[in-house]
Amino acid sequence: MSDTVTTARRWNSFVCPGCRCVFRVPQDHDGTGVVCPACRIMLRLPGPDDELPPLMSQPVAEAGPVEVEEYDEETGSDEAVAAVRSDRNFIAILAVAAVVLVGMVAWWMAPEKKPPAAIAESGEVPKPSATGTTPSATAPGPGGVTVEAPKPLLIEIESTVKTFLEARTREEALAVVFDPAATSAKWDGWLAGEAYKAPGFQGLVGEPVTAGTGEGAVSTVEVRTGDFKVREINLVKHDGHQRVDWDSWAAWSEMSWEEFRTKKPTEPVLFRVQLSVVEYFNFDFRDDREWSCYRLDSQDGLEFFYGYVPRTGALDQRVRPADPGAKVKWTLKLKFPPKATRDNQVLIDSVVSEGWVAKKPEN
């Protein structure tokens, strides 16, 4: 063979003891040292007569030049490639398993929440503390799992409203209303000869809103009745209990709308109305410079009057809605002007209360 032909170079595989990178080293390497292509650590390779394990040596900068071929998965031996890929797969599997395990532990330890109604039925109502207040935080439940403490006011309101709306007789309903004696005297006229029929109860809609504290505090909440209509109901705290304000529920007035229209009384009569701003100036109230006009609707919207007050007066400023397009509930006293020519134009005499819950006389 010609002297110009070079013998093929032979290589040995070597595994870095630090990062387990597999790379090749020439068989004719002098054995003084080699740099790992992955972690860049200087390694001492054993010679033919040297069985010492690989040791770390001085940094690369202080070592002499060494001929090394960088490891490549594509060009490396099958055994080396398999070893590297096996390590990577093992680490990936461990990472995924750890994430799944942490998620399962977090889910298992999450507190179980119960709705207030379910807690009330199970009897898990927390007892008042030494200060007389009922805790509102979480309390331990069965098996040591924490559950959300019930809201006593919401539970009592729901129970009272359900009893009122599902009462089979007037007497059962009167048992949970504010001032049952006065309500009983109004009820027959309100029914107008019709038999009483319970509205039915499907559930509360949202949370109650309470105005005031202690006796006389008013809680307002929306309720879905048996015919799936949503209506507002008010409850008044009386003698430590929640009682339905029947007057606002029935939108009770001292006269029926038809009777008021027919008799045209000039003395003030109490009405519960839904007030909105309109511009209707005619007949007995022609001058829009003198009068402000409001539309006064009944609860069901089937009846209405045009109500007038002196423009820019104190009463006008009080009842005028901040939103011109709003419809606001008021308890007002209305009357007809002397010698009224129309049965739908009335004077707003005074305000009894904002909203339909009239102020209760103090005992």
Res 21: pLDDT: 81
Q: Is the pLDDT of residue 125 over 50?
A: no
For residue 266, the tally of other CB atoms under 10 A from its CB is: 14
Residue 313 and residue 347 in contact, taking contact as beta carbons nearer than 8 Å: no
Check the CA dihedral 149-153-154-160 and report its sign: positive
- Please state the separation of Cα 272 from the chain's center in Å: 33
Nearest-5° angle of CA 150, CA 151, CA 155? 95
Q: Is the pLDDT of residue 320 over 50?
A: yes
When pLDDT is cut at 50, 70 and 90, the band that residue 117 belongs to is very low
Across 7-41, b (16+ Cβ under 10 Å) vs e yields eeeeeeebebeeeebbbbbeeebeeebbbbbbeeb
Res 142: pLDDT: 45
Rounded mean pLDDT, 216-222: 94
More confident call, 10 vs 42: 42
Task: Enumerate residues 6+ apart whose C-beta is below 8 A from 85.
Answer: 73
When pLDDT is cut at 50, 70 and 90, the band that residue 102 belongs to is confident
Res 60: pLDDT: 43
Which range, 56-70, 103-117, 190-204, is most confident? 190-204
More confident call, 341 vs 96: 341
Q: Is the pLDDT of residue 150 over 60?
A: no
Res 9: pLDDT: 58
Res 17: pLDDT: 80
Rounded mean pLDDT, 166-181: 92
Computed over every residue of the chain, the mean pLDDT equals 79
Give 263-318 pLDDT, tens digit per residue.
999 999 999 999 999 999 999 999 999 999 999 999 999 999 999 999 989 999 99
Q: What is the pTM of this model?
A: 0.58
When pLDDT is cut at 50, 70 and 90, the band that residue 5 belongs to is very low
Name which of 94-103, 108-117, 215-224 the model is least confident about. 108-117
When pLDDT is cut at 50, 70 and 90, the band that residue 24 belongs to is confident
Res 167: pLDDT: 94
Res 133: pLDDT: 40
The tokens for 161 are 């409203």
Rounded mean pLDDT, 233-246: 94
More confident call, 331 vs 85: 331
Residue 253: which of 173, 195, 333 has the closest Cα? 333
Q: Which domains does the chain have, with CATH numbers?
A: 116-150 (no CATH), 153-250 (3.10.450), 257-354 (2.40.50)
Residue 66: which of 45, 89, 38 has the closest Cα? 45
When pLDDT is cut at 50, 70 and 90, the band that residue 174 belongs to is very high
Q: What is the DSSP letter of 348?
A: E
Res 2: pLDDT: 43
When pLDDT is cut at 50, 70 and 90, the band that residue 242 belongs to is very high
**Phi, psi values for residue 254, rounded to 5°:** -70, -20
